[in-house]
Amino acid sequence: MVEKKYIALSRTLEKYICSRRICDRLPGLYKLAEELQVNHVTLRKAIRFLADQNKLRIIPHDGTYVVQPHTTREKFHVLGFVGFSYKGETVEKLFDDLNYDLASTGYRAMNIACNSTLFNSDPKLLLGLPVDCFSLSGSISRNIADALLEAKIPAICTVNGNFPEFNHVGMDHVEAYTRAIRVMKAKNCSRIAFFGYQRTRDFQNYLEDIRSVFTRELGTGFEEKFFCIYDHIHFYQKYREHYHEVMVNDVMKTWYPDFPDAVITLHSAAPFFKQYRSGMMVAEFVPYFTPGTPADVSFYEDNASMLSISAKRMLEILNGDPAVTEIRIPFIMKDHSKG
């Protein structure tokens, strides 16, 4: 049976109410129909449908109001950080410092190891954690987003245009890739490659953003064959701990004998590019600074700032700030080369 349009629209309207945290009166029918870009007759039916479910209350000659539930979620005074995966003592120090700074606010920060597949398949596991607000670093999906909105649990995520309902705090990848290309060009590199890994559907736009930086910065010098994206999951399943090396070896074969001057890539792939072609300039993107890297240039995340700014924004939201904001944090660059 085909679902009636007004029932589907009722779910869209619920998401609209959750994302904007509307607690009282809705906009007028025609204004709301224009905002949602739907037919006002269908919208009227959707509103009546939700009113029949006691989710909305229609007051003649006044307006439509959101019905507030009688129960409220327990407050834990805990901020949950999902997907901030750093190594060993690094992550402990970051969260120790963050909790020291949060002491005066009455809140604590919890680091939650990210299992994207598990949380995506059953977001209720994430919602069941004793957390008042989430910060999701690269781990959000539409399933998780919808579950958070429905449960009215506030959250922020890394910068991603696919989730306009959420506040965004994240590293400025577009600016950093722009800077990386310009640094390579300043080192007399004219043929610059990109080697990266495939992203999930909800983050596919990340690769599109990076590609736009390459085409803009390189202009007619952009070469399609040097913009390479690999399905790292497939290679991992086949080669396990050697998968980075196998992928780099594979892409080098496709380039032979016409190699680029430089490659911008991930930290895990950088050593193998240097191993196979020592004269190639390599710029790497890393979660945190790693001494002794073979790369010529490193761009690493300012994790302390990202945690601190994320926590500040989460507290503002919990204190009633209704704004939807976007905060981009610059990468830190280290140039290890002499030239």
Task: Write the single-letter amino acid at 25.
Answer: R
pLDDT bracket for residue 288 (50, 70, 90): confident
List residues bridging with 78 in a β-sheet: 108
Same domain as 316, residue 289: no
Distance of CA 318 to the CA centre of its chain: 21
In total, the chain counts a number of residues equal to 339
Asked if residue 187 has pLDDT above 70, the reply is: yes
Is 208 found in the same domain as 289? yes
Q: Are residues 183 and 295 in the same domain?
A: yes
Domain containing 29 — which CATH number?
1.10.10.10
Burial class (CB in 10 A: 0-12, 13-18, 19+), 302: middle
Record the tokens describing residue 120, joined without a space.
């995506």
- Of 219, 220, 217, 239, nearest in space to 230 by CA: 239
pLDDT digit string (tens) for 14-40? 888 887 778 788 998 899 999 899 998
Domain assignment present for 333: no
- Based on the fold, state whether residues 133 and 199 are members of the same structural domain: no
How would residue 137 be classed by pLDDT, with cut points 50, 70 and 90?
A: confident
Residue 48 lies in a domain: yes
Within-domain flag for 334: no
Of the candidate ranges 1-15, 21-35, 171-185, 323-337, the one whose mean pLDDT is the lowest = 1-15
Q: Is the pLDDT of residue 1 over 60?
A: no
pLDDT at residue 44 is higher than 70: yes
pLDDT digits 0-9 by tens, 66-87:
887 655 678 999 999 998 876 6
Residues 132-145 have a mean pLDDT of 90
Q: How many domains does the chain have?
A: 3
Q: Report the pLDDT averaged over residues 323-339.
A: 90
Read off the pLDDT of residues 191-213 as tens digits, 9 standing for 90 and up.
999 999 998 888 889 999 999 99
Structural domain range at position 195 = 173-300
Q: Is residue 336 part of a domain?
A: no
Domain's final residue, options 45, 66, 87: 66
CA distances from 231 to 112, 131, 256, 312 (A): 26, 34, 21, 36
Q: How confident is the model at residue 3 (pLDDT cuts 50, 70, 90)?
A: low
